[in-house]
């Protein structure tokens, strides 16, 4: 009876050391590589938008296809902070009270507003110029990726540690100032 118990315990230990821990390590490496690929793809997309000053439907579809290749599902949020100059007046009713100064502020355009411009409810082709979302030099543009699904390594870790809570979701914010604009 005691010998059977020792054999059973030894088998469990061998399974953990020879199979489960290397498998967990392999899954973690896959997750790290997927995160690096997602970061590289998102950075290339944001840099292209910042350099060109325009978002095309083809650019968006290419981003989605490249992220799909990582094997995970991402929620993507885009934000555009559009720069505006507002003249300052001592009395806003009187135009001759202009102070020869301008205040700068940024107006936020959310993801939905940009997607409505890129993919309107019309039958216009993808390459039509009306479907371009234009940005100006000096505006800010940001993309945030949120991984929605749980990874295999986090599931295996939860199983090994008897943890019921899923791992914290992976999130990447990437952005910066628009450098150029197309006319």
For residue 152, the Cα-to-chain-centroid distance in whole angstroms is: 21
Strand 133-134 versus strand 140-147 pairing type: unpaired
- Confidence tier at 63 by pLDDT (50, 70, 90): very high
Query: How far is 80 from 123, CA to CA, in rounded Å?
Result: 26
For residue 109, count other CB atoms closer than 10 A to its CB. 18
Query: How far is 69 from 112, CA to CA, in rounded Å?
Result: 24
Looking at every residue in the chain, the average pLDDT score rounds to 86
Cβ pair 56, 131 in contact under 8 A = yes
Q: Mean of the pLDDT values across residues 41-68?
A: 95
- CA 89, 91, 92, 95 torsion-angle sign: negative
pLDDT tens-digit series, residues 99-137: 888 888 899 999 999 999 999 888 888 778 888 999 999
pTM higher than 0.85 for the full model? no
E strand or H helix at 2: helix 2-15
Distances (CA, A) of 69 to 73, 131, 146: 10, 26, 15
pLDDT tens-digit series, residues 3-28: 888 888 888 777 767 777 787 888 88
Q: Where are the domains of the chain?
A: 2-177
Q: What are phi and psi of 111, to 5 degrees?
A: -55, -45
Strand 140-147 versus strand 171-177 pairing type: antiparallel
């Amino acid at each position: 009876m005691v010998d059977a118990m020792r054999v059973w315990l030894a088998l469990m230990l061998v399974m953990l050391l020879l199979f489960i821990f290397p498998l967990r390590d392999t899954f973690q490496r896959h997750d790290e590589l997927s995160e690096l690929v997602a970061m590289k793809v998102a950075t290339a997309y944001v840099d292209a938008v910042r350099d060109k000053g325009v978002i095309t439907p083809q650019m968006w579809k290419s981003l989605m296809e490249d992220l799909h290749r990582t094997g995970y599902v991402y929620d993507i949020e885009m934000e555009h902070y559009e720069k505006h100059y507002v003249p300052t007046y001592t009395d806003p009713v009187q135009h001759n009270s202009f102070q020869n100064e301008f205040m700068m502020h940024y107006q936020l355009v959310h993801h939905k507003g940009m997607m409505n411009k890129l993919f309107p409810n019309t039958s216009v082709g993808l390459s039509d110029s009306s479907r371009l979302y234009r940005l100006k030099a000096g505006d800010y543009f940001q993309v945030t990726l949120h991984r929605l699904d749980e990874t295999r390594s986090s599931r295996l870790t939860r199983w090994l540690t008897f943890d019921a809570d899923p791992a914290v979701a992976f999130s990447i914010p990437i952005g910066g100032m628009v450098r150029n604009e197309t006319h």
